[in-house]
């Protein structure tokens, strides 16, 4: 069923005050200063072990400090292509930021700043937290002071399939009897392996393909981030390539639906994650990438997407630890 999600259009609530109306002062609301004061121990962890990513003066994301010498995990799609990237940890700003490695599947980059004596996060032993468990993440920040936002674990941990399915990231010649590539999307796995205009796709995972429909059928049940074996013909020669499939949503901006329209600044890359934990902390796309903490101040995950107004995703600590190790190994010495 292609259902519409029911919620009446946004209604202006700045109506005249009604008789007998009672209103809670903003300080005592869930995002208010008085309530967040109860999360001071966790905020202190964010102060030293989260990184603020800046494009000039603009805050574009956060990061997780994972070593005392300045290794930081960040949300790749928010820092990609940023020219004047700098990083603030605690009260020190580091203008020199190197991108050491990246993982397109998780949308995570490993950054390095020239620092020493930083306080890395302490990883929790599990991300398997009951729904209703408090979690804390970065809110907005001042130059010197991190702020916390709090929420709860709000749904089951699970895979978030790529929206729109997996895509190769190529445009094929229309109305042709062969699969001739006429354009390659620059952010796709096809581009990574050097596929180019004029190449002809002959087979996928050993199956011959000639029609666009056949190609679509073969890719239909594949997952974004997985790899296919493709034989192409280029200048008369057959070449074997291992191509990573992209999430359609990574390559093309999704069409906004009604839920998106009421979601403010959600993360453009918000699907295609092997597993996430979900919480209800109200952060914009520009506060993603930082650690998700439990009440003990331990890192239970890394905030990776604000999916919409009511749902935020984090990479679970189990996968995050493995990912950090993998990215470190990819790093050229």
Site for another protein, rule CB under 8 A: 1-8, 10-13, 17-24, 27-32, 34-35, 37-39, 41, 130-134, 151-152, 154-156, 158-159, 258-259, 262-264, 278, 280, 282, 295, 308-311
Residue 264 CB, shortest distance to another protein, in Å, is 6
Residue 74 CB, shortest distance to another protein, in Å, is 24
Is the distance from CB of 279 to CB of 135 less than 8 angstroms? yes
> In this structure, how many other beta carbons lie within 10 angstroms of the beta carbon of residue 244?
19
User: Smaller CB distance to another protein: residue 227 or 308?
Assistant: 308
Residue 184 CB, shortest distance to another protein, in Å, is 33
DSSP secondary structure string for all residues of 135-199 = EEEEEEE-SS-EEEEEEEEEEEEEEEPPTT-EE--EEE-TT-SSEEEEEE-TTSHHHHTT--TT-
Give the integer Cα–Cα distance in Å for 192 and 105. Answer: 14
In sequence order, what are the residues at sequence separation of 6 or more whose Cβ sits closer than 8 angstroms to the Cβ of residue 102? 76, 108, 109, 110, 327
Secondary structure of 241-290 in HEC code, one letter for each residue: EEEECEEHHHHCCCCCCHHHHCCCCCCCCCCCEEEEEEECCCCCHHHCCC
User: Smaller CB distance to another protein: residue 99 or 310?
Assistant: 310
User: Smaller CB distance to another protein: residue 196 or 309?
Assistant: 309
Residue 206 three-state SS: coil
User: Smaller CB distance to another protein: residue 242 or 254?
Assistant: 254
Residue 55 CB, shortest distance to another protein, in Å, is 24
User: Smaller CB distance to another protein: residue 138 or 188?
Assistant: 138
Residue 53 CB, shortest distance to another protein, in Å, is 23
Residue 160 CB, shortest distance to another protein, in Å, is 9
Residue 306 CB, shortest distance to another protein, in Å, is 10
Beta-bridge partner residues of 182: none
- Triad 158, 330, 307: Cα angle to 5°: 30
CA 234 to chain centroid, in Å, comes to: 35
User: Smaller CB distance to another protein: residue 156 or 237?
Assistant: 156
User: Smaller CB distance to another protein: residue 134 or 252?
Assistant: 134
Residue 280 CB, shortest distance to another protein, in Å, is 4
Give the integer Cα–Cα distance in Å for 69 and 306. Answer: 29
| Lookup: tokens for 48 | 């030293």
**Element at 112 (helix H, strand E):** strand 108-113
**Element at 72 (helix H, strand E):** strand 71-75
User: Smaller CB distance to another protein: residue 103 or 280?
Assistant: 280
């Amino acid at each position: 069923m292609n259902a519409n999600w029911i919620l009446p259009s946004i209604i202006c609530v700045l109506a005249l005050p009604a008789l007998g109306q009672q209103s809670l002062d903003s300080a005592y609301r869930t995002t208010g200063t008085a309530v967040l004061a109860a999360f001071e121990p966790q905020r202190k962890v964010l102060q030293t072990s989260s990184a603020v990513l800046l494009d000039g003066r603009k805050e574009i994301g956060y990061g997780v400090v994972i070593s005392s010498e300045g290794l930081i995990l960040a949300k790749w799609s928010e820092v990609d292509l940023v020219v004047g990237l700098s990083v603030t940890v605690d009260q020190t700003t580091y203008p020199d930021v190197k991108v050491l490695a990246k993982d397109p599947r998780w949308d995570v980059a490993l950054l390095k700043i020239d620092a020493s004596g930083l306080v890395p996060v302490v990883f929790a032993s599990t991300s398997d937290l009951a729904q209703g468990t408090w979690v804390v993440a970065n809110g907005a920040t001042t130059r010197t002071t991190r702020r916390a936002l709090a929420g709860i674990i709000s749904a089951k941990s699970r895979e978030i399939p790529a929206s729109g399915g997996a895509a190769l990231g190529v445009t094929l010649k229309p109305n042709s009897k062969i699969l001739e590539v006429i354009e390659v999307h620059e952010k796709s796995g096809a581009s990574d392996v050097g596929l180019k205009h004029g190449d002809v796709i002959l087979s996928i995972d050993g199956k011959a393909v000639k029609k666009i429909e056949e190609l679509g059928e073969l890719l239909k049940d594949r997952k974004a981030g997985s790899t296919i074996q493709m034989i192409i013909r280029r200048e008369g020669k057959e070449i074997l390539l291992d191509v990573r499939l992209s999430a359609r949503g990574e390559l093309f901006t999704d069409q906004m639906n009604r839920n998106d329209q009421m979601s403010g600044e959600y993360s453009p890359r918000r699907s295609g994650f092997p597993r996430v934990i979900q919480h209800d902390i109200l952060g914009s796309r520009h506060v993603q990438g930082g650690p998700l903490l439990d009440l003990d101040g331990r890192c239970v995950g890394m905030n990776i997407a604000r999916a919409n107004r009511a749902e935020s995703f984090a990479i679970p600590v189990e996968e995050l630890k493995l990912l950090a190790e993998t990215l470190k190994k990819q790093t050229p010495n």
